């Protein structure tokens, strides 16, 4: 089973890239983030014409997540409230969570808030959101054992996940509080699939559009697959496909694929 994650930065702008990539990379599930489109306007036909099933949770202009699956998924739901019914539903106004089950694996597709800059309002929201994510996973873990939680986490846990031209100190996506908040999430029993196979740094999944960051390979590894232990044991490989970032009008992120 192959599960990929890709922040496409607008599915409508990136539709051709996604279709071409799926044709060349027949994964079982492709998790998209930043689809940036309401459900009614999602380009559903072109995906389904390729033989995939589609599950989406989008909004206007921002955020938005989608699951593209070769086989039908079961128990699909969007938002934290699906597993935390007592939660203030306001947390699900931003469409950042969608989940479904394939075989014995629950896939959780996340678009973690970026946070803008350390200390501001959006940063506080990011930390609060990660706390809710932890509760959400606790609820899910009551019923599901094999979980693949993937997506754009907007956090690089280790300095070696970040190019060396940036002052990491208190930088958004690398600050101690957000790293700690993510570690608190992972402490429920998740491990980074990529790090099972690759120890060294210099592997990135996101390069800022600005300052020719990709050309200079000034990237960050912020798109992850976090697996519960039994699934982590089954992981056969986890690779970053840099090719789509080389295309014209690329997303600033590139796909990451785990195989079981």
13 scored as a contact of DNA (CB under 7 A):
yes
Task: Rule CB under 7 A: choose which of 154, 175, 205, 254 binds DNA.
Answer: 154
- Using DSSP's 3-state secondary structure scheme, residue 123 falls into helix
Residues 66, 42: Cα–Cα separation, whole Å: 10
For the question of residue 62 being annotated catalytic, the response is: no
* CB-nearer residue toward DNA: 37 or 137: 37
For the question of residue 53 being annotated catalytic, the response is: no
Within a 10 A sphere around the Cβ of 99, how many other Cβ atoms? 28
60 scored as a contact of DNA (CB under 7 A):
yes
What string marks each residue from 219 to 238 as x (binds DNA by CB under 7 A) or -?
--------------------
Closest CB 113 distance from DNA, rounded Å: 6
Going by C-alpha positions, the residue among 142, 113, 149, 116 that lies closest to residue 130 is 113
Within a 10 A sphere around the Cβ of 241, how many other Cβ atoms? 16
Closest CB 61 distance from DNA, rounded Å: 3
Q: Is the dihedral of CA 59, 62, 68, 74 positive or negative?
A: negative
Task: Name every residue whose Cβ is closer than 8 Å to that of residue 106 and which is 6 or more positions away in sequence.
Answer: 75, 99, 100, 140, 144, 146, 147, 148
What's the half-sphere exposure (Cβ side, CA atoms, 13 Å) at 179? 14
Name the catalytic one among 152, 161, 192, 223.
152
Name the catalytic one among 17, 163, 224, 253.
253
246 scored as a contact of DNA (CB under 7 A):
no
Task: Rule CB under 7 A: choose which of 72, 184, 209, 217 binds DNA.
Answer: 209
Binding site for DNA (CB under 7 A): 9-10, 12-13, 36-37, 60-62, 113-114, 116, 122, 154, 209-211, 249, 252
Active-site annotation, residues: 111, 152, 253
């Amino acid at each position: 089973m192959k599960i990929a994650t890709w922040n496409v930065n607008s599915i409508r702008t990136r539709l051709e890239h996604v279709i071409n990539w799926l044709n060349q990379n027949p994964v079982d599930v492709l998790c998209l983030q930043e689809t940036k489109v309401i459900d009614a306007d999602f380009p559903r036909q072109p995906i389904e014409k390729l033989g995939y099933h589609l599950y989406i949770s989008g909004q206007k202009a921002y955020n938005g997540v989608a699951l593209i699956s070769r086989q039908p998924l079961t128990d699909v739901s969007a938002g934290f409230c699906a597993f935390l019914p007592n939660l203030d539903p306001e947390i699900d106004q931003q469409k950042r969570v969608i989940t479904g089950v394939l075989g014995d694996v629950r896939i959780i597709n996340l678009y973690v808030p970026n946070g803008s800059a350390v200390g501001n309002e959006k940063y506080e929201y990011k930390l609060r959101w990660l706390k809710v994510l932890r509760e959400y996973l606790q609820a899910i873990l009551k019923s599901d054992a094999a979980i693949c939680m993937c997506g754009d986490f907007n956090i690089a846990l280790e300095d070696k996940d970040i190019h060396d031209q940036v002052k990491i100190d208190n930088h958004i996506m690398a600050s101690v509080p957000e790293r700690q908040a993510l570690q608190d999430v992972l402490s429920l029993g998740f491990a980074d699939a990529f790090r099972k196979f690759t120890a060294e740094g210099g592997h990135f999944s996101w390069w800022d559009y600005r300052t020719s960051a990709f050309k200079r390979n000034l990237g960050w590894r912020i798109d992850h697959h976090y697996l519960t232990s039994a699934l982590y044991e089954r992981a056969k490989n986890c690779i970053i496909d840099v090719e789509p970032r080389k295309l014209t009008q690329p997303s600033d992120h590139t796909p990451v694929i785990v195989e079981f």
